[in-house]
Structure 1
Amino acid sequence: MVGRRSAPSVAYFLVTHALFFLLACRLSASQQARNYTFVHDARTAPEISYYDYIIVGGGTAGCPLAATLSQNATVLVLERGGSPYGDPNITYLANFGAPLADASPSSPSQRFISEDGVINARARVLGGGSCLNAGFYSRAEADYIRDVGWNSELAKQSYEWVEKKVAFQPPMKQWQSAVRDGLIDAGVLPNNGFTYDHMYGTKVGGSIFDTAGHRHTAADLLDYANPDGLTVLLKATAHKVLFHTRGTQEGKARPTAHAVVFRDSTGAKHRAYLNSGAHNEIIISAGSLGSPQLLILSGVGPVDQLKAHNITVVLDQPMVGQLMSDNPMNAVFVPSPVPVEVSLIEVVGITHFGSYIEAASGANFGSFPDNDYGLFSPKIGQLSTLPPKQRTPEALERAIYNMSKLDRAAFRGGFILEKIMGPISTGHLELTSKNPNVNPSVTFNYFKHPEDLARCVQGMSTIERVIGSKPFSKFRYDTLSVPQLLNMTATAPVNLLPRHSNSSVSLEQFCKDTVMTIWHYHGGCQVGAVVDRDYKVIGVDALRVIDGSTFNASPGTNPQATVMMLGRYMGVTMLTKRLASA
């Protein structure tokens, strides 16, 4: 028989368990930090070094690629940004958007504005875009995998390899559940429940945020690395790939990549060379802006751009920087009469007409009144109250100021958004400077193709049915009709439609005026145009591009799962060939 605890014993029990609980919380948070022995500041790098593989870009593709190749080779990763670990603005869901609003040179996000006028961002941190995004994790559709030519079984295994480290089932609270049920009520069928797979209908997808709201990024995949085979240099900006000639191609010397010139944060120059060996290569994984930019800086690109910037022509490749695409996103804010949870993307409606419906709630992210870093905050450049060309710095400042004066209750509600698949519309990228830290100029030509615009209209019509559905009724005001929501003026408490003189606006005009990015831009080094199906740069040797710049269309509803999978997939493929010839 267990005796009764005395009062002091009970107090001791409660105190020790409280301390244990706090310690457990701290340990949980500290598990986000990784003290990788192979990660170093580039200032510590030797002036000259040699590796079997050199990867430019430690991002969403570069990290899993490096972790895999390090098992049987020496690998160098050059990452122009810093570490994500120890940065609460990256780690915690509640701080989403804070990095995107940070314009400092050390920010993990580098803002750029397309020639279309849409404000966008590119990653500058180990882990790449997985450190900045809204966290949704969903695989590519089976048709996409087949059309690209990937081995379906290896792709599946590669997804699973990624998921063991970074993917979780989201909590699905009331508001997200209402959106899910509203999609089903609106006819986006069937209800596929929770799944990582891409299937027509409504589903709950994965998230790289765990149940405690902690972000897990592609950098976490370096857990798989062989520490003896890997070196990761932070704040190492690649300036160019060096080539020499080897053999002939139709009577002409064939360029072969053999080194990368990079600079550390002090500006000191370093060179990393490939070891001799038939399978040793340089892989560019710098993203859809960085990869074509580096190719052009290295002399592989459109000859007119090369000559305009006095860059020695290695290979006239007119398709570098072409076929750039960004999936246009449009959204509606739905004010709620009752409180809503803070959530990012957890549910998606995958339609047959080519539009994806998603949602985020709780516009006031963060614990402090001035921390309005929502998914659609003007602080991060998402300003739909003005057409793209009018989103000037002054307009952003006015929107931020106006938002700061609003009552907190104005932010109660959530956004329902749609993005179109593909898209069909494409644009191009051009070099603006020989400085790799300067953004290239990029044009996406949103809605240039009429089918893209038609898909947006159908997506917005579906959102209208979701808002009007019975399952969503708890989170809408009966006095606000959907046309009224669409026609709120620029003085509304959140980003909505620009002011128009007419009483109603067509959905076509709404799509054009309120277009924003969902950060799923791709292209610039597409398969079949710049690289072959093995991601080798056409016309040169020992050089590949492995990242989203090679995509002809954005995979699945959100690309990050497939970009991480691709890094693992190609790492396995390359190592298999290497070992077979050993």
Structure 2
Amino acid sequence: MGFVWWRLFVAAVVVILFFHGFSSAERAPNFTFMHSATTAPDISYYDYIIVGGGTAGCPLAASLSQNYSVLLLERGGSPYGNPNITNLSTFGSALSDLSPASPSQRFISEDGVINARARVLGGGSCLNAGFYTRAPPDYIREAAWDGRLVNESYQWVEHLVAFRPPIQAWQSAVRNGLMEAGVMPYNGFTYDHIYGTKVGGTIFDLEGHRHTAADLLEYANPTGLTVLLHAAVHKILFRTKGKSRPLAHGVTFRDSSGTKHRAYLKNGSKNEIIISSGALGSPQLLMLSGVGPAEQLKAHNITVVVDQPMVGQGMSDNPMNAIFVPSPIPVEVSLIQVVGITHFGSYIEAASGENFAGGSTTKDFGMFSPKIGQLSTVPPKQRTPEALAEAVRYMDSLEDAAFKGGFILEKVMGPISTGHMELRTRNPNDNPAVTFNYFKEPQDLERCVQGIETIEKIIESKAFSKFRYEGMSIAALLNATASSPVNLLPKHANASRSLDQFCKDTVMTIWHYHGGCQVGRVVDHDYKVLGVDALRVIDGSTFNYSPGTNPQATVMMLGRYMGKTILDERLASDVSN
């Protein structure tokens, strides 16, 4: 009998170890609450309706489902089972997929910089370079968030999706080069935002598998949550008759077959609709629903519910500029792991090695590839489809040695420069027109120049010497021709003397755009939309500037924070009554 029990014990251990070796990003969790929108009834009722299953929407839905019935509507599909999302080695593949079924939807700002918005459960956390780091304490104070709940909410997120990255040779050289360049002190590994050089977290586990905000739905109460995929919300429905202020009470959405559905709030004064559709999607949906600048709405024959001229204003995207450093020795494949947080307002990060696009053997420059729109060989207004195609053909013709190396980038803090968004059509699946006004404010340009100068110091440092060709000057890197080793940056006769022009001509995105529904302008400090009832916006569109070096940790935290806040407020109200 003892032998039988021993065999059962060994078998159980083997099963546990087998499944422990697979991340939730590799296998679809048993989300019994996740369905195609085609299965939805024509009309349904919930306590909370959340529009957007992205970086904020997933933790928000998981939290509210503990006590209430929640409908989470996501216009995209599931991230599970898609290797282009799951694997670090195929980073960029989803961003380069331009098909209607892609988890990424490309858009080009009026500035000419090519960008992307998420179209998948888990949002931008399914597409990004994975860096995980918290907002600085002063950001939390300015947002008037409760510090204790902020820390608890970050920890709630980190328990499932954050990891310590393995630092190898290239990232180590960047780290040590940052310190030689004076970005001190060295703060080791930490999620916290601290001046100096540090190793941050990542949402890629040790096997290189991505974890996303969708994984946070593991916290959900499965009996309290319904997730509908491929559900495109067209409009928020308002009651105005007999109301002192418009009252949000439902939404209309269409499934993948085009069939129209309606979902309404159950009777109850505290039930709400919450928009978490991102910095483009949230202001766009408000406008499509009649909340926005009256003149613009009338131009599209949209009935004005509330004339709110600040919807779509305050749009910003952190400008990013990078230098490719060809290496005489092989480098590891790495995304963002090390960061230098400077006092002058620029963040220094790095990525290295070749990636493989679309599972093919086509070599790629990962997060700096023209295949995903990151074209810096010509100024923004010249980044036409023809220029992109030519850059891709050129890249495919290069020898293997051209891909040996990595990029060191700088990202401008904030930024101070802002723009705006306008509707193009009444179709929520179409991209609106957005202008970010990169470097409109001189201080942003000064920060870029100082960031590039810091990158120069890193490249010239002793710590980085083995990854630098002997005798290759900074001017040569900035003006390198298309020979091998190669630098895919524009040639400027005066680039070494005019870094401000270099910044303007080589600007790219790091996908951290925000604004459009900012606190104090469109929503109050409880994220309730001004001028209407039972409607909130909770996502990065409410930010006045991007939190920390990379915002995803704070967006996930905000979803949990506000979910917990709403639950606590309702509990306190029920007790007092």
> If the TM-score is normalised by the length of the shorter chain, which range does it land in?
over 0.9
Closer/same/farther in 2, CA of residues 233 and 411 from structure 1, 3 Å limit: same
Q: How far, CA to CA, are the matches of 1:152 and 1:100 in structure 2?
A: 35
Closer/same/farther in 2, CA of residues 101 and 495 from structure 1, 3 Å limit: farther
Q: Indicate yes or no: 2:123 matched with 1:103.
A: no
Show the counterpart of 1:126: 121
Paired letter, 1:240: K
- Which residue, 344, 348, 366 being the options, matches 1:353? 344
| Matched residue count | 561
Whether the aligned pair in 2 keeps the contact of 1:79 and 1:125 (CA below 8 Å) is yes
Paired letter, 1:565: M
CA deviation string 1:63-104 (max 9, x = no partner): 000000000000000000000000000000001000000000
Show the counterpart of 1:335: 326
Whether the aligned pair in 2 keeps the contact of 1:403 and 1:493 (CA below 8 Å) is no
Q: Indicate yes or no: 2:532 matched with 1:543.
A: no
Closer/same/farther in 2, CA of residues 24 and 244 from structure 1, 3 Å limit: closer
Whether the aligned pair in 2 keeps the contact of 1:322 and 1:427 (CA below 8 Å) is yes
Q: Indicate yes or no: 2:513 matched with 1:521.
A: yes
Show the counterpart of 2:6: none
Whether the aligned pair in 2 keeps the contact of 1:358 and 1:416 (CA below 8 Å) is yes
Show the counterpart of 1:255: 246
Q: How far, CA to CA, are the matches of 1:219 and 1:77 in structure 2?
A: 12
Closer/same/farther in 2, CA of residues 243 and 24 from structure 1, 3 Å limit: closer
Deviates more, 1:287-296 or 1:479-488: 479-488
- Which residue, 62, 68, 73 being the options, matches 2:68? 73
Gaps of 5+ in 2: 1-10
In the TM superposition, 1:173-572 aligns within 5 A as 173-245=168-240, 253-365=244-356, 368-372=360-364, 374-489=366-481, 496-502=488-494, 504-572=496-564
Whether the aligned pair in 2 keeps the contact of 1:490 and 1:498 (CA below 8 Å) is no
Q: How far, CA to CA, are the matches of 1:435 and 1:493 in structure 2?
A: 46
Deviation of the 1:278 alpha carbon = 1.6
Closer/same/farther in 2, CA of residues 525 and 341 from structure 1, 3 Å limit: same
Deviation of the 1:38 alpha carbon = 0.1
Q: How far, CA to CA, are the matches of 2:88 and 2:355 in structure 1?
A: 12
Whether the aligned pair in 2 keeps the contact of 1:97 and 1:373 (CA below 8 Å) is no
CA deviation string 1:28-87 (max 9, x = no partner): 577542130000000000000000000000000000000000000000000000000000
Deviation of the 1:479 alpha carbon = 1.7
Q: How far, CA to CA, are the matches of 1:569 and 1:536 in structure 2?
A: 15
Whether the aligned pair in 1 keeps the contact of 2:238 and 2:246 (CA below 8 Å) is yes
Paired letter, 1:202: T
Whether the aligned pair in 1 keeps the contact of 2:479 and 2:493 (CA below 8 Å) is no
Q: How far, CA to CA, are the matches of 2:483 and 2:98 in structure 1?
A: 26
Show the counterpart of 1:575: 567
Paired letter, 2:289: S
Show the counterpart of 1:156: 151
Deviation of the 1:372 alpha carbon = 1.8
Closer/same/farther in 2, CA of residues 463 and 504 from structure 1, 3 Å limit: closer
Q: How far, CA to CA, are the matches of 1:489 and 1:246 in structure 2?
A: 67
CA deviation string 1:129-179 (max 9, x = no partner): 000000000000000000010001100000000000000000001110110
Whether the aligned pair in 2 keeps the contact of 1:300 and 1:315 (CA below 8 Å) is yes
Deviation of the 1:245 alpha carbon = 2.2
Show the counterpart of 1:8: none
TM superposition score normalised by structure 2:
0.95
Show the counterpart of 1:11: none
Q: How far, CA to CA, are the matches of 1:351 and 1:298 in structure 2?
A: 42
Gaps of 5+ in 1: 1-15
Whether the aligned pair in 2 keeps the contact of 1:403 and 1:494 (CA below 8 Å) is no
- Which residue, 101, 112, 116 being the options, matches 2:111? 116
Whether the aligned pair in 2 keeps the contact of 1:333 and 1:496 (CA below 8 Å) is yes
SS of the residue corresponding to residue 101 of structure 2 reads coil
Whether the aligned pair in 1 keeps the contact of 2:181 and 2:454 (CA below 8 Å) is yes
Whether the aligned pair in 1 keeps the contact of 2:76 and 2:103 (CA below 8 Å) is yes
SS of the residue corresponding to residue 242 of structure 1 reads strand
Deviation of the 1:320 alpha carbon = 0.3
In the TM superposition, 1:41-80 aligns within 5 A as 41-80=36-75
Q: How far, CA to CA, are the matches of 2:187 and 2:547 in structure 1?
A: 19
Q: Indicate yes or no: 2:157 matched with 1:165.
A: no
In the TM superposition, 1:134-153 aligns within 5 A as 134-153=129-148
Deviates more, 1:30-39 or 1:571-580: 30-39
Closer/same/farther in 2, CA of residues 181 and 52 from structure 1, 3 Å limit: same
Paired letter, 1:326: D
Q: Percent identity?
A: 74
Deviation of the 1:496 alpha carbon = 3.4
CA deviation string 1:247-297 (max 9, x = no partner): 66xxxx310100000000000000000001121000000000000000000
Q: Tell me the C-alpha RMSD between the 2 structures.
A: 1.8
Q: How far, CA to CA, are the matches of 1:30 and 1:457 in structure 2?
A: 39
Deviation of the 1:505 alpha carbon = 4.7
CA deviation string 1:385-434 (max 9, x = no partner): 00000000000000000111111111000000000100000000000000
Show the counterpart of 1:92: 87
Deviation of the 1:26 alpha carbon = 7.3
SS of the residue corresponding to residue 408 of structure 2 reads strand
Deviation of the 1:368 alpha carbon = 4.3
Closer/same/farther in 2, CA of residues 39 and 493 from structure 1, 3 Å limit: farther
